[in-house]
Structure 1
Amino acid sequence: TPKRQSTMFKRWLLALLPRVGLIVLGLCCCLSLFYLLACKPTSPGSQQSLLWSGGATSKEGYMALLQEREDSHRHYINSLTKQIAQLKEALQERTQQLQESLDKAKTRGILPQGLESLHKTPTQTDLKNFLHSQLNQAEVISGVQLPSEYAVIPFDTFTLRRVYQLEMGLTRHPEERPVRRDRRDELISAVETALHVLNGPQQHTDNTRRKSTYSPSDFIEGLTRTERDRGTVYELMFKGAGPRDFTQLVLFRPFGPVMKVKSESVDTRGTLINIIVPLSKRPDMFRQFINNFREVCIQQDGRVHLTVVYFGRDQIDQVKAMLDQTTRETRFRSFTLIQLNENFSRGRGLDVGARAWRRSQNVLLFFCDVDIHFTADFLTSCRLNAEPGERGLLPFKHLCHIFKRYPDD
């Protein structure tokens, strides 16, 4: 019937509407996507990729882009050149005005003190004179008078691997760990400069007994300190041609290029060390000391003398027996035993031991305690850092990293 057909048509129309809506929505999305792709601006990367694609059109576009960039750089260079020319012209004009003002002030006699050198053009000779004046003012070639001991600038000892600082005092370990990178580079640069000097042709003509070639392994130790208004001094010690020959090189860096101050050979063959030990009882500790003395001083070095100042009578027979046994086994007879019937006094013992030296040979005195253990390198350091006629204690920087007490003390 017509009513039934109308109802079926409505149902079909209602079922078709969602499908039509989905189709229309899909068409709208496609149209929007196409619109976005068509209206999106072309990026430089895509343009460059198009230019790099094959074909005559891409090559011509690339050449045009290259020409445009070149014109832009040329324009920028021309602009900078004009600015530089203008600055030079302004500088020349200001310099001329300053020169005229200085000439007028000099003519009138009112030129301020210290400005006389402004009208001169600095030369290489002026720079050398300034560096040499810094060297002469620094405490390198000769000492300077200081108001007190607090004004003394301490040295630091360094090797290729470690730096030992005196400013740490006794409360902290003097070894700088880890060494700062800038400080390590500075010290290594000083050693490299010293090697270039030692291996240079001029050094070869000055010293006929020098080694053929110096290497970093020949570097023993160095001293360095910095005067804040002068510069930095380096005293470097290298092994020489023989086992007891050494070369000392002094360099100075006046906040500029490193300068060579002096280079000299050091011969330690005739330097005898007199080790003075004050002692009272403690035979076990003296036995450990004499064993270390036999191993280092007698077997490895051989240029030492031992002076023992003994206080009292108790257990002195044991000390004599140890010295006699050492003499029989090693045939080393450079001993002196002094007995004092007094209470123990370290200062008194050191004074008596130093005055007991009666030989004509000049000797290097080393005041030592019985509980100290030292090495052959320390004896070498003592000889390298002492000169005849000097009096005083060896600086703490040489002792702090070489000495060590016995573990059972």
Structure 2
Amino acid sequence: MSRRGSTLPTRAHWLLLGLALLFSLVLFLYLLECAPQTDGNASLPGAVGESYSREYYQALLQEQEEHYQTRAASLKRQIAQLKQELQEVSEKMKSLQERRNVGARGIGYHGNGEQAPGDLLGFLHSQIEKAEVSVGAKLPSEYSLVPFESFTLMKVFQLEMGLTRHPEEKPVRKDKRDELVEVIEAGLEVLNNPDEEDEQENEEGPLGEKLIFNENDFIEGYYRTERDKGTQYELFFKKADLMEYRHVTLFRPFGPLMKVQSDVVDISRAIINIIMPLAQRTEAFTQFMQNFRDVCIHQDKRIHLTVVYFGKEGLSEVKSILESVTRL
């Protein structure tokens, strides 16, 4: 009984060992079957791989270079085309400027109508005659009157204030600035190169030299536009050492500027009228009369003052102030 008991564990031990070896053999065969197969014809990294890569990059660089050359040629053609168009535009602008100068000399500032067509010149003169430039027109009421607006070198004083709501402003629009500058230059052209028909006296300065006006001699101007006729300009120039103004009237009948007249305004004996509205404020009026006496009465003596007083309170005091000034 003891031998049989010892034999059974020994057999079980060898049986387990055999099963383990069999399982290991099956696992090894399975791994051999499932392992990936290597391609014997695959190219290994070496000289052949490097030669293929160099050719590829050379072809890529060649393609990029051809693309850039094509782009550069296209840009050169565009630049040449733009230069040609710019030259054509410059020639057109030059020809238009020459025509404009010829038109200005023909029917503009100098009043020489030989170079202008007769029909056009007649139409322009008819527009001047229709407008209230030389002779006034009868109007049904004051609402039909077209008011003037004044301007200087830097400012425009307008009655219709528009969106800005400012009666005094700089010309914002470029076309308006160019228009006023052109008008002032036209007035200077009339003064510095007068026609033979213009009988202007005192064309020489104090030292006998010829008077040459510039834009600094421009004092102020007035203009108004009648929608069916054109724009009228009244320009005033003055030298600092002369007691006279130069008055130039221009008209633009929806065409080139035309000179209407040019005359001399002598102010050596002119009387300046001042109309002053007043209501109370007698202390400020007293100070004003002192300045008026020192500047206007003692120095100029060619100023007439009219005081329009509103109300009765303080009227006697204002009268006494005026009487005291007149007695001095």
Shift of 1:273: 4.0
Q: TM-score, normalised by structure 2?
A: 0.60
**Is residue 320 of structure 1 aligned with residue 316 of structure 2?**
no
- The AA in structure 1 aligned to 2:123 is F
Residue of structure 2 equivalent to 1:209: 202
Contact 2:286 2:321 (C-alpha < 8 Å) held by counterparts = no
Q: Quick check: 1:249–1:264 contact (8 Å CA) kept in 2?
A: yes
Return the alpha-carbon distance in structure 2 between the equivalents of residues 183 and 261 of structure 1: 22
| 2:173 aligned partner, one-letter code | R
- TM-score where L is the length of structure 1: 0.49
Q: Label 1:301 to 1:203 Cα distance change in 2 as closer, same or farther (>3 A).
A: farther
- 1:31 maps onto 2:30 in alignment: no
Partners of 1:47 and 1:313 lie apart in 2 by 89
For residue 160 of structure 2, what is the amino acid of its counterpart? Answer: E
Q: Which residue of 2 aligns with 1:272?
A: 271
Q: Whole-Å Cα distance in 2 between the matches of residues 145 and 315 of structure 1?
A: 40
Change (3 A) 1:165 1:213: same
Task: Give the drift of 1:260.
Answer: 0.6
Residues 219, 238 of structure 1: 8 Å contact kept: yes
SS in 2 for 1:221: strand
Alignment of 1:191-340 (within 5 A): 191-202=184-195, 206-211=199-204, 212-239=211-238, 243-275=242-274, 282-299=281-298, 301-307=300-306, 316=316, 320=320, 324=324, 326=325, 331=328
Deviates more, 1:260-269 or 1:239-248: 239-248
The correspondence for 2:121, drawn from 124, 128, 131, is 128
2: distance between equivalents of 1:131 and 1:26? 88
Question: 1:299 deviation in Å?
Answer: 4.8
**C-alpha distance 28-294 of structure 1, shift in aligned 2 (>3 A):** farther
Q: CA deviation at 1:287?
A: 1.5
Change (3 A) 1:146 1:288: same
Partner AA of 2:225 in structure 1: T
SS in 2 for 1:196: helix
Does residue 177 of structure 2 align to residue 153 of structure 1? no
- Distance between the aligned counterparts of 1:41 and 1:276, measured in 2? 85
Separation in structure 1 between the aligned mates of residue 239 and residue 196 of structure 2, nearest angstrom? 13
C-alpha displacement of 1:43: 6.4
Give the direction of change, closer, same or farther, for the CA distance of 1:174–1:203 in structure 2 (3 Å limit).
Answer: farther
Which AA in structure 1 matches 2:59? Y
**Largest Rg, 1 or 2:** 2
| Shift in Å, 1:153 | 2.1
Q: Which amino acid aligns with 2:243?
A: R
State the distance in 2 between where 1:308 and 1:297 align. 15
Q: 1:290 to 1:41 in 2, by over 3 A?
A: closer
Closer/same/farther in 2, CA of residues 285 and 191 from structure 1, 3 Å limit: same
CA distance in 2, matches of 1:133, 1:312: 54
Secondary structure at 1:213 match in 2: coil
How far apart are 1:266 and its partner, in Å?
A: 1.2
Which letter maps to 1:166? L
> Match for 1:140 among 122, 128, 133?
133
Q: 1:162–1:179: 8 Å Cα contact kept in structure 2? A: no
Deviation at 1:250, TM superposition (A): 0.3
Which whole-Å deviations, capped at 9, do the CAs of 1:184-228 have from their partners, x for residues lacking one?
Answer: 111111111111111115369722313521121211110011222
**d(CA) in 1 for partners of 2:312 and 2:58?**
113
SS of equivalent to 2:284: helix
1:323–1:183 Cα change, 3 Å: same
Shift of 1:173: 2.9
Q: Distance in 2 between matches of 1:31 and 1:314?
A: 109
2:180 to 174, 182, 187: 187
Structure 1 pair 216/295, CA: closer, same or farther in 2 (3 Å)? Answer: farther
Q: Is the 8 A contact 1:197 1:203 kept in 2?
A: no
Question: What secondary structure does 1:20 align onto?
Answer: coil
- CA deviation profile, 1:85-107 (whole Å, cap 9, x unmatched): xxxxxxxxxxxxxxxxxxxxxxx
The residue type paired with residue 52 of structure 2 is: C
TM-aligned CA distance change 1:327 to 1:136, over 3 Å: closer
Instruction: Give the total of aligned pairs.
Output: 241
Structure 2 runs not aligned, ≥5 long: 1-37, 74-115, 205-210
Residues 151-179 of structure 1 show CA distances to partners (whole Å, capped at 9, x for unaligned) of: 3222110011111101129x943112353
Provide the rounded CA distance (Å) in 2 between the counterparts of 1:173 and 1:299: 37
Q: Distance in 2 between matches of 1:39 and 1:45?
A: 10
The residue type paired with residue 224 of structure 1 is: Y
Structure 1 alignment gaps of length 5 or more: 1-13, 50-122, 332-409
- SS across alignment from 2:169: coil
**Residue identity in the other structure for 2:254:** F
| Distance (Å, rounded) in 2 between the aligned partners of 1:37 and 1:308 | 94
